[in-house]
Copies of this chain bind each other. A is one copy, B any other.
Amino acid sequence: MGEFELIERFFKRPARNAVVGVGDDCAIWAPQPGQQLALSSDMLVEGRHFLSTVNPRHLGHKALAVNLSDLAACGAVPRAFLLSLSLPRVDEDWLSDFSQGLFALAVAHDCELIGGDTTQGPLNISITVMGEVPVGQAILRSGAQVGDDIYVSGHLGDARLALEAFRGHLSLPQNIFELARSRLESPTPRNTLGVSLRGLAHAMADVSDGLLGDLGHILKASGAGAVLSLPALSGLMMSRPLWTCPQEWLLRCVLSGGDDYELVFTAPASSRQALESAASDCGTQITHIGHISAEPSVRLVDEKGTVQPATYPSFDHFA
């Protein structure tokens, strides 16, 4: 099977919103009046972001999910994406499963594949996603204000548990492993929540490299610090009610686990009720984990208000 047949068979679908979709030199797209575009790219590399044994359907899902998560973090509605794929060989079963996982999520978010590239080489999946947000309403990292509450959506840390189990650093009960693995391999981007936080959240980022690292981006961009509640953080792991996570892993995974694809955001205390209501409408849990401080550091406080040391690194692909 050649390059063009491969595209035709697995990746070309009739253009929906695009003026021209897959199959010309460029896709042609007409933005809606009054909207700004939000654009982001994420690249997944075998051995670095996923294991060669991963289910290709999950991989197709995840490759798009991590990109949609960036749109969620700005409050943008997904519209379209381009997929560049380097493959060692044409494996039809693999391509069929990968494209099914990819399109299932794309259809669920009404996000259209409009172009891309395929070539031969080490397995590499590079997606660029495009969304829309009304002019001036994108939620940036730089808007946090001293006194803002800090929230995270959903759960943190379980994906890292699965990674550590795959690495042989940790032995997990079977049911915990399955749950954690599903969080690692099939993350849920929080786009509905992200959009509903427009006008409420002052600053937002997605949690992809670990909470401390990604909150750190907000703090740096906003010139502020944070005080975080250890009891609130300890409750964030999805698997927490089901077993006793070793203490050494609990906070490490929650604070610097990575691969969570949740949202961390700040909002004024006056918005608490509106936030709870918005989150409830989306069916997504949010947890109040602390507040923004003027002092430019992150302090973890226990239930007595005592500051605890925090030495958890962010995930860095070149560290």
Chain A, residues 18-35, CB within 8 Å of chain B (1/0): the string is 011001111111110100
Contacts of A210 in B (CB 8 A): none
- A163-177 residues at the B interface, CB under 8 angstroms: none
Of the listed stretches A119-127, A151-159, A303-311, chain B binds A119-127
Contacts of A124 in B (CB 8 A): 43, 45, 86, 121-122, 124, 126
A98 → B minimal CB distance (Å):
16
Q: Provided the pairs A39-B29, A71-B26, A73-B25 are in contact, do residues A316 and B135 lie with their beta carbons within 8 angstroms?
A: no
Q: Is the CB of B70 within 8 A of A3?
A: no
Q: Is A90 an interface position by the 8 A CB rule?
A: yes
CA distance A111 to B121 in the complex (A): 28
* Nearest B residue (CB) for A25: B73
Q: Provided the pairs A43-B117, A126-B41, A128-B128 are in contact, do residues A70 and B138 lie with their beta carbons within 8 angstroms?
A: no
Q: Is the CB of A41 within 8 A of B130?
A: no
CA distance A9 to B31 in the complex (A): 33
Q: Is A1 an interface position by the 8 A CB rule?
A: yes
Q: Provided the pairs A117-B42, A121-B48 are in contact, do residues A319 and B76 lie with their beta carbons within 8 angstroms?
A: no
- A35-94 residues at the B interface, CB under 8 angstroms: 36-43, 45-49, 70-71, 73-74, 76, 80, 82-86, 90
CA distance A39 to B39 in the complex (A): 12
Q: Is the CB of B74 within 8 A of A24?
A: yes
Q: Is the CB of A39 within 8 A of B25?
A: no
Q: Is the CB of B2 within 8 A of A27?
A: no
The contact size tier of chain A is 35 or more
Q: Is A206 an interface position by the 8 A CB rule?
A: yes
Q: Is A254 an interface position by the 8 A CB rule?
A: no
A189 → B minimal CB distance (Å):
12
CA distance A280 to B83 in the complex (A): 37
Q: Provided the pairs A26-B73, A36-B19 are in contact, do residues A318 and B126 lie with their beta carbons within 8 angstroms?
A: no
Q: Is the CB of B141 within 8 A of A24?
A: yes
Contacts of A6 in B (CB 8 A): 318
28 contacts between A and B (CB under 8 A): A1-B318, A2-B316, A2-B319, A3-B318, A3-B319, A24-B141, A24-B221, A25-B70, A25-B141, A25-B204, A25-B205, A25-B206, A26-B39, A26-B71, A26-B74, A27-B40, A30-B37, A39-B114, A41-B84, A42-B84, A43-B117, A45-B119, A47-B121, A48-B119, A49-B119, A86-B124, A90-B318, A124-B126
Closest 10 CB pairs of A and B: A45-B121, A25-B73, A126-B126, A128-B128, A26-B38, A43-B84, A122-B122, A41-B82, A26-B40, A29-B37
Known: A29-B36, A41-B82, A41-B126. 8 other contacts (CB 8 A): A24-B140, A25-B40, A25-B71, A26-B74, A27-B38, A40-B82, A43-B119, A45-B121
Please list the residues of chain A having a beta carbon within 8 angstroms of any beta carbon in chain B. 1-4, 6, 19-20, 23-31, 33, 36-43, 45-49, 70-71, 73-74, 76, 80, 82-86, 90, 114-122, 124, 126, 128, 130-131, 133, 135, 138, 140-142, 204-206, 221, 316-319
